[in-house]
A and B are shown apart, each in its own frame.
Chain A
Amino acid sequence: MRTKRLIHSASLLLILLSVMLSGCQWIQDPKSLMSVPRLPTEKANLKSMIASQLPEGAILIRPTSSDDASAIRVTDLNNDGLADTAVVFYETPEKEVRIHGMVFHRDGDSWRMVVDFDGEGIKLDSVELIDITNDSRLDLVVGYGSNDTDLNKGLVIYTFTQDGINKLFEQPYSQFVIDDLDQNGKNQLFIVNNRRGQSPVLTAFDYQNGKMVKLNELAMDKEVNMYINMVSGFISKDHKGIVMDASAGANYWLTNVVVLNKDKVLEQVLSDDMTLKPYFTTSADINGDGIIEIAMPETPSGWDRLYESYEIPYFTNYFQWDGSNGLKLVDKQYRDYLDRFYLTFPKSWYGRVTVDTKSKKDEILIFVDQNTNEKLAEIRFFTPVMWDLNKEKWTYLSSFGDKIIGIISKEPLKLNKGLPKIPELNNNESNSK
């Protein structure tokens, strides 16, 4: 009888307790129930496998200048349609060797670590999976760097083997590209090196008979301090080449364009004095036609000599290689020196547009026809209050900090990328200040 009563009261207490406990959960903040979305099983397996193999204190790192910035790269090594290999890099800050890599192979549904290898340097600059050995299998190209971006970095090419990786090649580099420049279906490696006090060297390598063989090298302008930007691709309708933007001398910049000529020899197609520029501009395929343009600043007429370089509202001209030794203009833009906005001039303005010398780069810019002095367009920097008063008449261009930049023009202009803009959003933000 007594035990029965005891059981009775105990169960009652249990129910009360559970109600109270569940009551506590009821008022749980929904935010605390959020969680990172799960990975698909395969990826989750791989991730937990990697985590189990990582030494204590190690963290996964991402390359800083690769197109693919993911930390874990899963790839189809042998092109059979099945992702079979994973590559990760990790950092052990307190150890002698800072950067390490791991390669995993897939075994059915699980992953197996094949190799844990030591990297070089203290920064992971780039990681590419690309076929450089021309065997239809991807190879691993890794750029290791230091804390100083100006110094040469180390390029290492690994090939994947059955039981790990094999270091194929190692070279210092400042910039590199891998491309099929002679369009023979095989990739080549092009490395540019800085050499202190000497001219930088552009070297072409090719994979032959189990090793990377130097094809050719080209000494660049001695004045070049370092190459900042290096891109490869089509430079004319059917020619591929390498375009390199560099800082040179005391305070100027230049662009080199290099091709592989008929004899598979590296050759510069433009003379250096054609591409000298007073400040750095990045060459790229600016108009999306698949051909790389060379960016060159132009001093608007009326500004040369009278003004300091920093005062001049430069235009930026984009040229394409004409196939021999010349350049042709394909695009003319005004780009803000702080990159706050840019606009593309219509073809009709070419040869006659300039900037009124009363203009100030941070306040007002008046584009005029240099022959008739007729105003073509005007850019003005407004405070939010002033913008509110003028926004009916002016077209929103950009905003930054507490400035709103507006434009009026006689002709329709392509502003920035020409994408839809939302001045309200920026406007409100500026107003809410």
Chain B
Amino acid sequence: ASSQRLRSHLKLVGRQEELAAARAARLDLLLPEEPGFLEADPGEDTCTVSQGDIAAAVDIASAAKHFELRLEQFGPYRLDYTRPGRHLLLGGRRGHVAALDWQTKTLMCEINVMETVTDVAWLHAETMFAVAQRRWLYVYDNQGVELNCLKRFPGVLRMQFLPYHFLLATASETGFLQYLDVSVGKEVAATCTRGGRLAVMAQNPANAVVHLGHSNGTVTLWSPNVKEPLVRMLCHRGAIRALAVDRSGTYMATAGLDRKLQLFDLRTYRPLHALVLPQGAAHLDFSQRGLLAAACADVVQVRPSPSLPRKPYLCHRLPLPAHGLRFCPYEDVLGAGHGAGFTSLLVPGAGEANFDALENNPYRSRKQRQEWEVKALLEKIPAELITLDPTCLDRVDTASMEQKRQEKIQRLGFDPHAKAKFRPRRKAKGGSSAGSLLRRKRKVAHEEQRVRCGSSPPLTPKNLTPHPKKPHPSALGEPKRVRVVR
């Protein structure tokens, strides 16, 4: 009786969830903004349209978003945008660090840290940022005041901030991947990746897994809870030069020394598209609406993904080779840091047009930011929940259930849920002959198998896989070694 109630309850819950999803989808009609686009006249290509042409064609406010900062003194620049897309952080190789509101061009701070700067990253809000300097990792206030010098993080080459976990993941030149919890200031995990110098790093925004690219052409996926990589993929014949994951966590773009640009499906870890670029891409970034920007020496090319056509959507030549490439969230803007400073490029259709004010609000006031910060800290996800599948908490823990069932059988001495064997009842007048008994038994012969098949999805040509996979007992999933052979 209780299983009947449970089944009806689950059905009701399922129906409610479907209703809720349908209602939320209908609210798409109320979205105020439309995404941008660029259409070329028939006979022309969009890749021949220059930034000047785009700036001339749009309104003044959008045209002001295309600007160039000539900073030739302090070396090639790395950059980072805050999550709402309002503030920009620039870090020059020779020590110049500047934080500014790039839309109103108000400078928040500008310092020279007197040391080589390898990477810069905003922390959870525009109040703090981290600078990876030659020796150690430093955390600064947005006024340029040094807050922390973290000596446990030597030789950091690349940093990625995991916003929902408040974790700063750092990849060092000695092959260490370290996670720092910026809300309490503790080092959560330090893994020796044994992959050599880690100069290529990206994060999957959908499940907070860190992707590292190695010099033997492999890409490894890491979680702070596991000492081995979760997945190891062979992507290129030479070293990996650049790595990017799109915001829904389905595609990964990699560029290698073999001048190829590959697009992988992250659900199956199989390659989708390959493109040969004459010079090979040194930097990659996905925009919110799926445009992929690739910086090949001093040329920045933007292509729509996942189709990746040969001819790019947009092209731009920077004064010197690029060192940093980032799309600005919620704006149709691509920022490129290069040897001569910083350039902000207009890319129509790159940014998400409609933001959700309760997640990231580009127009938030100080009070709203403070309220958001408190709420975000309260729902900070613990680092133990970082897995390949972010919805694994929703699933039934079949391993523990099995274990508990075995323990119960042991304790009680019998299985309380076992069904008694089917014995056909005696019927009158010829219904109990051997043949009719056999016929009745045959009806329920494969009931168990039928129940199992009924619960799994029907086999269509798409679903047919050669080896049906059994779910691994641990919640984190077995470290998979997938060799991608072409």
Q: Do A and B assemble together?
A: no
Interface residues of B (CB under 8 A from A): none
